[in-house]
Chain A
């Protein structure tokens, strides 16, 4: 039995569920929009000052929006018992986790990345910085989804795991945001930015390799208790 057709049917199921829960998915996107819209109103309308802060504001907004959606990653599968079946499946559970997290990125990280250029106009970010902003956000949100999956798996068995999830995951999010904003700020300032981008890409590939294993281990603990 080849893996690919099975994985594609799992992937289709996740996409279908995401589509049927689309009102939940709009939440992080709206949150991102509101944060960025309120920022110039609350801080300063001075475009030069805003442009300086723009990469950081966009990144913080995207990170928090991502965090907001993580709690739901495994929740419904845990509640209806599908998660137990996934751990007993003929497919390696890590591949199922990669599928789930991949879909999570497609429905949150990717839309956030696509929204960012529109919102960056509001913050006066120079147009030349947009490609790099989108690239760092795409890479960064993927690693946020992967790392966040570990926290979501650890807290899925708890009734109110939201706060704990945030506390567990925040420290791991910090390096991602440092190098993500660092690359964009360096480019805006006309400095070399390749090193920061390379670090970010390394973190993404690293979490792609490790996070699914840890997530499966955490899920086994959550289900086995």
Chain B
């Protein structure tokens, strides 16, 4: 499988504390990289560096190395779902989805968006302002984009920061299954989570503990 991400010599020091030092890894297509570690071990910081919005980590990150579209910058082929899920509370789930897709330059039929919202269990809430939804439901609004049936080369990698927080048991299982399905179709997933993930394609990278 083609290499999707290469990170070389990542180094982060905060408040005189080394979160990680000289950290290098690769991610290939079809692979799930599961970052683990105690709270405050730098998982979120690392993910933010990977997508290119953190300025506190040194090192080189290259997306899609060995390919003509190789880039150090994040690009529209990556879904990044952050800890703050980018759900605008004054807008309905449907409007939030439309905006997220517009930012990624993706245009799909509206029925596809409805189906994705239905899959995450937001049927009947499509037009409700998001501030009336519960924390878990707001989380689902952000996650709904992962259930869109896009062509495999449209979005090639997911970077997910604690995607399973605030979700109920059923939704957690559904998302885990979806992550494994996406990897099986050739996509790469880099995620942090305190939940385990069972699949032969999962690789675990432990941060913290002075490693």
Beta-carbon contact of B103 and A84 below 8 Å = no
Beta-carbon contact of A81 and B91 below 8 Å = no
CB-CB contacts of B74-99 with A at 8 A, as 1s and 0s?
11101010111111111100010011
**With A82-B88, A85-B80, A90-B104: A220-B55 Cβ-Cβ less than 8 Å:** yes
Beta-carbon contact of B104 and A13 below 8 Å = no
**With A82-B86, A82-B88, A85-B80: A16-B54 Cβ-Cβ less than 8 Å:** no
How far apart are A135's CB and chain B's nearest CB, in angstroms? 34
| B17 contacts partner chain A, Cβ-Cβ < 8 Å | no
CB-CB contacts of A1-17 with B at 8 A, as 1s and 0s?
10001100110010011
Beta-carbon contact of A87 and B53 below 8 Å = yes
Q: Determine the distance from Cα of A90 to Cα of B69 in the docked complex, in whole angstroms.
A: 14
Q: Determine the distance from Cα of A84 to Cα of B159 in the docked complex, in whole angstroms.
A: 13
| A163 contacts partner chain B, Cβ-Cβ < 8 Å | no
How far apart are B4's CB and chain A's nearest CB, in angstroms? 16
| B149 contacts partner chain A, Cβ-Cβ < 8 Å | no
Beta-carbon contact of A91 and B103 below 8 Å = yes
Which residues from chain A contact B87 at a C-beta distance below 8 Å? Answer: 80-81
Which residues from chain B contact A76 at a C-beta distance below 8 Å? Answer: 88, 90
Interface size on A, residues (CB 8 A): 29
| B56 contacts partner chain A, Cβ-Cβ < 8 Å | yes
CB-CB contacts of B51-62 with A at 8 A, as 1s and 0s?
111111000000
CB contact list, A1-53 vs B, under 8 A: 1, 5-6, 9-10, 13, 16-17, 20-21
**With A13-B95, A20-B90: A85-B102 Cβ-Cβ less than 8 Å:** no
**With A13-B99, A84-B84: A224-B90 Cβ-Cβ less than 8 Å:** no
Among A5, A6, A17, point to the contact of B91 (Cβ < 8 A). Answer: A17
Which residues from chain A contact B56 at a C-beta distance below 8 Å? Answer: 224-225
How far apart are A215's CB and chain B's nearest CB, in angstroms? 16
Beta-carbon contact of B53 and A89 below 8 Å = no
| A221 contacts partner chain B, Cβ-Cβ < 8 Å | yes
Which residues from chain B contact A1 at a C-beta distance below 8 Å? Answer: 105, 107
Q: Determine the distance from Cα of A40 to Cα of B82 in the docked complex, in whole angstroms.
A: 53
Which residues from chain B contact A86 at a C-beta distance below 8 Å? Answer: 103
* CB nearest neighbor in B for A20: B90
| B100 contacts partner chain A, Cβ-Cβ < 8 Å | yes
* CB nearest neighbor in B for A9: B102
Among B80, B89, B102, chain A packs the most CB atoms within 10 A around the CB of B102
Beta-carbon contact of B103 and A89 below 8 Å = yes
| A223 contacts partner chain B, Cβ-Cβ < 8 Å | yes
Which residues from chain A contact B86 at a C-beta distance below 8 Å? Answer: 80-82, 84-85
| A88 contacts partner chain B, Cβ-Cβ < 8 Å | yes
**With A17-B88, A85-B86: A90-B76 Cβ-Cβ less than 8 Å:** yes
Pairs A-B, 4 closest by C-beta atoms: A81-B84, A90-B76, A90-B105, A224-B55
A-B residue pairs in contact (CB < 8 Å), sample of 15: A9-B99, A10-B102, A13-B91, A13-B95, A16-B91, A20-B90, A20-B91, A79-B84, A80-B85, A84-B53, A85-B80, A88-B78, A88-B103, A90-B75, A90-B76
B binding-site residues for A, Cβ under 8 Å: 48, 51-56, 74-76, 78, 80, 82-91, 95, 98-100, 102-105, 107
